[in-house]
Structure 1
């Protein structure tokens, strides 16, 4: 379940298929990522992708996915274009909690100097 769910998430995001995000996210999703207050609820997460995300286009290249009973993680590289037309090449890691076959919690981390 979890592997296909994570792959489906990135397929939807990379193809900008926002109307089908409900296939992968719970209605009460919480999404945490650097630079933003936690995005709570499906409508808030959906609005982030439709209106606030700074990425114009790109593709996630997954290196690995690991799963537990109700949680998982993945990591890889995102290569794309920012809305300001600058190139993006960013390593990332995500941590997930699953509920009823969907993503209940997601935390994203990026590989860059911070502390």
Structure 2
């Protein structure tokens, strides 16, 4: 499912795909350009990240996975909101290979940059 293609302004579907492509290529400058400067970034198990410096620190120091491959199965666009569902497959920085499903939610600002990003992973936790 590709979502609503009748959007005006930035192509948010393409922006989200570009974000995951940049992650997979380990292109941190493009990853960081995807976000607004005051982005709110949330992931279970991590402190809330507020601002691009927190996000940069996470990607440079806190991220547990090495660059791998994100396969998007579903992208739904509604206004400035995008929901993505897919799988990550790649290596852990501490060793071992991992395939895990994820769901991610983005809210974009008026400049076409992600102002909010929340990701959930399909792993046992409760």
Please indicate the TM-score interval, normalised by the length of the shorter structure: over 0.9
Determine the C-alpha separation between the residues in 1 that align with 2:71 and 2:102: 10
Q: Please state whether the residue corresponding to 1:56 is helix, strand or coil.
A: coil
Please, what TM-score do these two structures have when normalized by structure 1?
Answer: 0.94
**Cα deviation, residue 47, structure 1:** 1.3
CA contact (8 A) 2:23 2:67 kept: no
SS at match of 1:55: coil
Aligned to 2:64: 54
Is residue 85–residue 103 contact of structure 2 (8 Å, CA) maintained in 1? Answer: yes
Tell me the CA shift for residue 57 of structure 1.
Answer: 2.7
d(CA) in 1 for partners of 2:20 and 2:108? 16
Tell me what 1:38 maps to: 48
CA distance in 2, matches of 1:56, 1:95: 21
**TM-score, reference length from structure 2:** 0.87
Contact 1:21/1:46 (8 A) holds in 2: no
Runs of 4+ displaced beyond 6 Å: none
CA distance in 2, matches of 1:107, 1:37: 12
Structure 1 residue 46: Cα displacement:
1.1
Stretches of structure 1 that go unaligned for 5 or more consecutive residues are none
Structure 2 residue ranges without an equivalent (≥5):
1-10
Please tell me the root mean square deviation across aligned C-alpha atoms, in Å: 1.0
Instruction: Describe how 1:1-115 pairs up with structure 2 within 5 A.
Output: 1-99=11-109, 100-115=111-126
Distance 2:22 2:114 in 1: 14
| Count of residues in Structure 1 that have an aligned counterpart in Structure 2 | 115
Q: Is the 8 A contact 1:9 1:21 kept in 2?
A: yes
TM superposition shift of 1:22: 3.4
Structure 1 or 2: more strand by fraction: 1
